[in-house]
Structures are given as structure tokens and as C-alpha cells.
Structure 1
Amino acid sequence: MNEINLYKSTGKAGKAILFSFLFLIAGVWLLNSGSSLKWVGWGNLIVFGPSILINLFHLFDRRAQIVINEQGIFVRAMKQETLPWKYIKGTLPNPDYKNRALLLLTDTSYTPPLDKWYNNIKVTESWGGQTLSIPIEKIKVDEDNLKELIASMVEVNQTGKGNRQGIISQYNNTGRKKTHT
């Protein structure tokens, strides 16, 4: 099956590991130097030691975070089945510029999963649907190209003209996406 897999950015995890390692070294230095700031050294060890382990997991996690195929969109962070194209009406501009997120406008007949991600779903009456926030801050992808792809896939669903497999193949062949860094 033809699909687009989007993975986590390894660069961000690498930077976080480097940052944590520097503070870990500073903490060890403070403990060994006989300084009166031993509590700062222990604080660095307690906070940044586990941080290195967590970021190592993020660095080597090679599971696809977002999978776009002919059936719909699968988002690993949402822990649910694939969101079918029949429920997706389009994308919306993100009003929060600090957090990179893809806002999908979904049909009101879509029943969201009732778990911790339920808070990311808000009913938007002015657009006639509800928005679903997909976090993409850790994924290396161009937001505009991703929105363009989703708009093309939704258009195929609404008009019945074109095929999704061709759109996915064209997106894969143009080299506009980055899967691994």
C-alpha cells in the first residue's frame, strides 16, 4: 500500500541530549569541586540524568508518528485507529504560533476517543464541525505542504474525482517531505 510516513526529528533529540549532557557535567563538577553549591550539582544530576535517557529513547524511536494513506490519517500520539477521510473536512490555520500543530476540521458525526487527547478536540460551530489538534512540533515536515496534501485528499473525497494513491505517489516523488533526518 502506498503511504506517507512522517518520523520524529532526530536533530531536536540530539540537541536536547547535548544540552542535558552539559548540565550533567556541570553537576558532577560542582559535586567534585568542594563547592558550597552541592545541592545545585545534585539537582542537575537528578533532573538531567533521566533527561538524557528519555531523549535517547526519542532519538532512536523510529516508529512513524503520522501515517497518511488512502484510508485516512493515523497519528501515533492520539492512540486510536486511523481517522478516515470521510470525517475530515479540511485544515484550519493554527492560532497558537508557539506550538506547531495541524488543526483538522472534522465532521460533527466523528466520535473522538475519550482519553487524554479528548481535550484537544473542540467543537467549532462557526465552521460547522470540530477541530482536532495534531501535534507536529517534533516532526520534521513542512506544514504548508502537509496542509496542501490533506486538502487534495479531502477534495478527492468530496468531489470523487482523482485518486488518493496518485496524490500520495506524487507527494512521495516530488521530494517535498523529509522522513528521517
Structure 2
Amino acid sequence: MTEIKLYKRPLKGLKIIALTIPFIVIGIWMINKEPIGTSDYTMGWLCTCFFALGIPVGLFQTFDRRPQIIITENGIWDRTTKQDEIRWEQIKGAYPLDIYKQKFVSLVVDDTFVLKKNLYKWAAKINEAIGAQKVNLLISQLKIDEHVMTEFIIEIIAIEKENRQNIIKKYFDT
């Protein structure tokens, strides 16, 4: 059975680290420049401590080697959705979604797919307002375009199970 694993881009973690370092440097500069007890000294410590939290987050993002999405002939599994594998037969359609430069692929699923954890009412209202579905795959961290992923999903749900391996090879060159 063909299994494709999609991983996060490590560049995302390096960007986080690169963006936090200047603020850490500014905080350390404020600590060294100002006398103890002043508000600028305190702000320097707060700035340094807060932005220093970005370093472990960035390192985790960079070195996290767990697959985010696994695609098989049977279905698709996304680690961020905290759901079981979604079988291709359960998907009715898919469309790309862009929310503040975060790329998603929204999956329209049928009634046979049961969510492990239901959305809060306020979250369901937000999903409805922005045009999202119950299941949305976060694509912006992956090395794949959301339009290509959408085309792939639409094509694979329309084909019989015996021919799915050919579609997977077509899109992912296994």
C-alpha cells in the first residue's frame, strides 16, 4: 500500500527564531542600560523573558520530524485535526481556504464521519462565518500548494479504490 507522509517545513521554525532574537537583544540592552528598579529595566526583563519563549518553540518547529499529514489509498490523516483517518468515501468535496495568509483545505464530509471532539458553539459559528468546514487541513506549514492538494483530493474521491495508487503517484512522484 502506498503511503505518503507530508512534513512541516523547517524554515518556519527558523523564521520564528530569527524574529525573536532582535527583541531578546533589545531586552538585554534595556537591562544593561537602565538602573535596577526603573520601569525600563522591568520592561527589558519582560521583553527578554517573553520573546525568549520563541526560541524553544522555533527549535521544536525546526526539528519536529513527525509527519503532519499521511495519505494512503484508504484515506487521509492530519495530526493537527486530532481526528481518525478520514476515508476517501466519506469526503464529498474539498476547497482551498485562505485565512490571514494561513492556507487550509476544507473537507466537506458526509454524515458517516463522526468527529472525535465536537467544536464549541462559538468555534462552529466562526467556521460558518469564514466558510470553513468541520474538518480543515492546515497546509501553510507543508511543502505543498493548497490548490494542488485540493485538486488531488477532488480527483482521488472521484475514482475507484483500485486506481487510487496511480493518482497518488501522479501527484507525489513516489
Question: Which category of TM-score, normalised to the shorter sequence, fits these structures?
Answer: 0.7 to 0.9
- Contact persistence 1:120–1:133 (CA under 8 A): no
1:83 aligns with 2:86: yes
What's the % identity of the aligned pairs?
Answer: 34
Give the aligned partner of residue 170 of structure 1: 170
* Deviation for aligned residue 1:54: 1.2
Give the aligned partner of residue 112 of structure 1: 115
Please list every run of 5 or more consecutive structure 2 residues that lacks an aligned counterpart in the other structure: none
Moved more, 40-49 or 65-74: 40-49
1:136 aligns with 2:139: yes
Secondary structure of the residue that 1:139 maps to in structure 2? coil
- Contact persistence 1:112–1:121 (CA under 8 A): no
CA distance in 2 between partners of 1:123 and 1:19 (Å): 30
Q: How many residues align?
A: 166
Q: C-alpha offsets along residues 78-119 of structure 1, whole Å, 9 cap, x if unaligned? A: 223211111011112426454311101111232111156994
Aligned ranges 1:1-181 → 2 under 5 Å: 1-34=1-34, 36=38, 37-94=40-97, 96=99, 98-114=101-117, 119=123, 131-156=134-159, 160=160, 163-173=163-173
Moved more, 85-94 or 160-169: 160-169
CA distance in 2 between partners of 1:54 and 1:123 (Å): 27
Please tell me the root mean square deviation across aligned C-alpha atoms, in Å.
Answer: 2.7
CA distance in 1 between partners of 2:127 and 2:155 (Å): 24
Please list every run of 5 or more consecutive structure 1 residues that lacks an aligned counterpart in the other structure: 125-129, 175-181
Amino acid at match of 2:137: I
- Contact persistence 2:98–2:104 (CA under 8 A): no
Instruction: Name the TM-score, length of structure 2 as normaliser.
Output: 0.82
Instruction: Name the TM-score, length of structure 1 as normaliser.
Output: 0.79
Q: C-alpha offsets along residues 125-150 of structure 1, whole Å, 9 cap, x if unaligned? A: xxxxx642222222231111111111
* Deviation for aligned residue 1:4: 2.0
